[in-house]
A and B are shown apart, each in its own frame.
Chain A
Amino acid sequence: MTLHADPVAAESYNFAYLDEQTKRMIRRAILKAVAVPGYQVPFASREMPMPYGWGTGGVQVTAACLTPDDRLKVIDQGADDTTNAVSIRKFFQRTAGVAVTEATAEATVIQTRHRIPETPLTSGQILVYQVPIPEPLRFLEPRETETRKMHELEEYGLIHVKLYEDIARHGTIATSYAYPVKVEGRYVMDPSPIPKFDNPKLSGSPALQLFGAGREQRIYALPPFSHVVSLDFDDHPFEATKAPHDCDLCGADDSYLDEVITDDQGSRMFVCSDTDFCRTRQAEGQLGVLGAPVLKGGV
C-alpha cells in the first residue's frame, strides 16, 4: 500500500519489510496491549531475516509502527554503534527508507535492547523494547497454562519468592536487571532485561512503550503515564543501582555506566552506556577524568 519514494525499495520490499496484513495483525495486538497495560498479548510472530534473540519481536513492532515520516533510532545496551543496533538500523534504512538519527530527542521511534535512554523521552515518541522472555514468572513456574492462570487470577505471591530467595542468599535484592514491576496495580510485567536503574523511568513516561517478544510471540505495552511500581519488601525497598562512579569521559554522575577493562593489568574505566547522552555532554564541554586528555590529544 504505502509506496516509498525509492523505486528499488518499492519493488523489492513492502514498506518496512512486513506485508500490510501482518502489520495489521501486529497493530491489533499493540492496540490490545495498550488497552490492557502490562498484559501479554499473543500475536502471530513472523520469521524475520535475523536470528531469534537479535530483536525479532522489537523489529516487528517497529515495522508495524513506522511511517515514512518517522525518524528512527536504534540502540543496543544504550549504544548506537554496536552490531545489533547497526544491523537493525540498516535493515530499516533499506526496507523502509526512513530517516535515522542517534539523537534521542530527535527520534520519533526508538528501538532499544536492554536500556532506556538517559535523555527523558517526550510525548509522541515510541520506545520499542526487544524482549527475550516476556513471562516474569517463567523461571519460577515452568507451566505456561499455570502462569496464564496466575496472571488471570492475580496470584503474584510467587514473584516475591524470587525476591525472598535473593535476600536469603545475598542479603539484598540482587536482581539487577529484568526487575519485575507491577503495572497500574494489576499485571506483573517483565520490563525486558533493562537494568533496574532504568525501572523508575518506566513509570509516568510521556512516551508510548511497546514490548515485542518474537520467539515467545507476545506483545505488551505501557501507555503514556502508566503507573509502574517495582516490586519489593517493606524492609528491603527497591533501589535503583548503578556503579558508584562518574563517567570517565563526560563526568556524568547520574547515568548508567559500563565498566570497560582497558588493559591486562586490571585497569578499568567507567563510561556512560548511553553513547548519545555521553557524546552530547562531551560536546557541551563537560569532561570526565579520562575524557579531557583524550580529546585534547585528538585536537
Chain B
Amino acid sequence: MGAVDLSIWAKVNAAKPLLAVRGLSKNYGSRIGCADVSFDLFPGEVLGIVGESGSGKSTLLSCLAGHLKPDTGAVLFETAAGLRDTLTMAEAERRRMARSDWAFVHQNPRDGLRMGVSAGGNVGERLMAIGARHYGDIRAAAVDWLGRVEIAADRIDDRPRAFSGGMQQRLQIARNLVTGPRLVFMDEPTGGLDVSVQARLLDLLRGLVREMGLSAIIVTHDLAVVRLLADRLMVMKGGHVIEQGLTDQVLDDPQHAYTQLLVSSVLQV
C-alpha cells in the first residue's frame, strides 16, 4: 500500500501545493521512524495524520517542521521564490521561515510557551522576532489575539502558570498564529484536555483555520478531531502511510484492515 495516486489531487485542486513532501524517510538506527512518505498539501487545506502510538506520526511531523533531519526525501515549501526544499536551505533561512510562515503547536503547552513570561509577552515574542519594535502595537496585537482565543484581556499580564490547561493551549495557539503563518503543524493539540474543553478548542481551531485560510497538518490519535477539522486524512502504521484520502471517505469506507480496526475501535457513546 501507500501507492496512492497523488495526481488526482493535483487535478482536483488546480492551485499549486503549499507543501510538497517527496519520499521522506527517517530511521532511528535500524528502526523505522517513518518511511517513504509523499503527499501534497494545498493552501487552505487541513491534513490529519492518524495512527497508533509509535506509528511515526510525530516523527513525520518533526521532520516536516525541521525539528528532525530526515535521512532521505524532500520537503518543498512554496515561498516567494517558488517551491524550495526546506531541508537543503541554510539554517538561518529555515528558522526565519519557521518564525514567520510556519507555526508549531505542541501537545504540551509548556513546551510551546515561555512559562516565565506574561501572556502578552508570549504572544508578542514572534512579532518581536520578526522585527516589531513598537510596544503599543505589540500590546494591541496581543490583546486582539487573546480575544480571538477567548482569553480575557485583563489576563494579559498573567504568567501562563496561572492559566488552566485549556487556556494555556489556547494561548499557545494565539502565540503561534499572531504572525499570520501560512502553515500550522499541530501535534495532538487536544491531548490532555478534558472533553468539553477539547470541544471548545476544536471549535476555535476550526474557526481560525477557516477564517485565516490556514493550511494545517494535525497529528492526533483522536478520530473525532480529524473528523471535525481535517479535509484529508493519512493513516500511518509502523512508519508507513497505509491509507490516505478524503477524511469522510477514509473514515466511512476504510479499505485497509488496520484502518477498519481503528475506525471500529472508537467507542460509541
- A binding-site residues for B, Cβ under 8 Å: 140, 153-155, 157-158, 160-161, 164-165, 167-169, 233-236
CA distance in complex: A168, B136 (Å) = 10
Q: Which residue of A lies closest to B134 (CB)?
A: A234
The answer to whether A157 and B138 have CB atoms under 8 Å apart is no
Q: For chain B, which range describes its interface: under 10, 10 to 19, 20 to 34, or 35 or more residues?
A: 20 to 34
Q: Which residue of B lies closest to A142 (CB)?
A: B116
Q: Which residues of chain B have C-beta atoms less than 8 A from A167's C-beta?
A: 135
Q: Which residues of chain B have C-beta atoms less than 8 A from A153's C-beta?
A: 91-92, 95
Number of A-B contacts (CB under 8 A): 55
CB < 8 Å neighbour of B136 from A154, A157, A169, A235: A235
The answer to whether B134 and A168 have CB atoms under 8 Å apart is no
The answer to whether A235 and B118 have CB atoms under 8 Å apart is no
The answer to whether B125 and A155 have CB atoms under 8 Å apart is no
Task: Output the least CB separation between A169 and chain B (Å).
Answer: 7
Q: Which residues of chain B have C-beta atoms less than 8 A from A165's C-beta?
A: 117-118, 121
Which residue, of A140, A164, A167, has the highest number of chain B Cβ atoms within 10 A? Answer: A164
Chain B contact surface mostly: helix
A selection of 24 A-B contacts at a CB cut-off of 8 Å is: A140-B117, A153-B91, A153-B92, A154-B92, A155-B99, A157-B126, A157-B129, A157-B130, A158-B129, A160-B133, A161-B121, A161-B124, A161-B128, A164-B121, A164-B138, A165-B121, A168-B118, A168-B156, A168-B157, A169-B157, A233-B135, A235-B134, A235-B135, A236-B135
Q: Which residues of chain B have C-beta atoms less than 8 A from A161's C-beta?
A: 114, 117, 121, 124-125, 128
Q: Which residues of chain A have C-beta atoms less than 8 A from B99's C-beta?
A: 155, 157
Q: Which residues of chain B have C-beta atoms less than 8 A from A140's C-beta?
A: 114, 117
- B binding-site residues for A, Cβ under 8 Å: 91-92, 95, 99, 114, 117-118, 120-121, 124-130, 133-136, 138-139, 156-157
Q: Which residues of chain B have C-beta atoms less than 8 A from A236's C-beta?
A: 135
Q: Which residue of B lies closest to A234 (CB)?
A: B134
Task: Output the least CB separation between A153 and chain B (Å).
Answer: 5
Q: Which residues of chain A have C-beta atoms less than 8 A from B156's C-beta?
A: 168
Task: Output the least CB separation between B144 and chain A (Å).
Answer: 16
Q: Which residue of A lies closest to B119 (CB)?
A: A168
CA distance in complex: A236, B127 (Å) = 17
The answer to whether B134 and A164 have CB atoms under 8 Å apart is no
Q: With A161-B121, A169-B157 in contact, do A234 and B133 touch (Cβ < 8 Å)?
A: yes
